[in-house]
Amino acid sequence: MTQRSRLDLLVRWEIDVIDRFLHEGVPFFERRAKEAGGPESEWLTPDGRLTEPQSLLRCRQLVLEFVLQYLNSLVDAILLALLWRVREDPDPIEQARNQTLSRASIVRTLESHYKVHFRFIRGWHIVEKLREESNALKHRAGLTLVPDEALGLNQLFGVRPSVPEIEEDIGVIRDWLLAVISATEGSGSA
């Protein structure tokens, strides 16, 4: 089995698991929130905690946020695997150092080696959007301040993914990763 087919399989397996987690996790928490009952207008208990339905709906949202972050992680993992193929350095310390490279650095190295421009492969804009949203979730609980010079104030934007949006992103990311793997197969010194 070639490394390409192993990477293809890894992408397909991981996407299948991500898709299953999305489609089983979201309905599970929606069903549990509905079963917990209570008025939807009540968010807090008398002691200031989230009500059971609201807590379960937040768990539903965490499923969506996790899927976004895991998709982003999968992109990084595949790019790193492609980098390891290029930099067949037997030194374990150097191999481990590759993990600390930024995505931009890894992409530049791969593009230079394979003479392929990843940003021109259909779906790159979703890869970048996913990276930005994932970083906002990881570092700022999904929040981003954007300066609005006309108002002289910052606007607060939050990452609030929806199931249809994530379903579309999953397909685009899968196709982009498979296209990247295919584009690097047989190019350069792979």
Does some domain include residue 190? Answer: no
Q: How do residues 103-114 score in pLDDT, each as one tens digit?
A: 999 999 999 999
Q: How do residues 35-65 score in pLDDT, each as one tens digit?
A: 988 766 687 888 888 888 999 999 999 999 9
The boundaries of the domain holding residue 130 are: 3-184
Does some domain include residue 43? Answer: yes
Indicate the number of domains in the chain.
1
pLDDT band at 189 (very low <50, low <70, confident <90, very high): very low
Token output for 167: 């379903």
Does some domain include residue 189? Answer: no
**Beta-bridge partner residues of 155:** 146
**How far lies 122's CA from each of 102, 107, 134, 177, 181, in Å?**
22, 15, 20, 10, 13
Does some domain include residue 159? Answer: yes
69: nearest Cα among 126, 133, 14? 133
Token output for 32: 């549990």
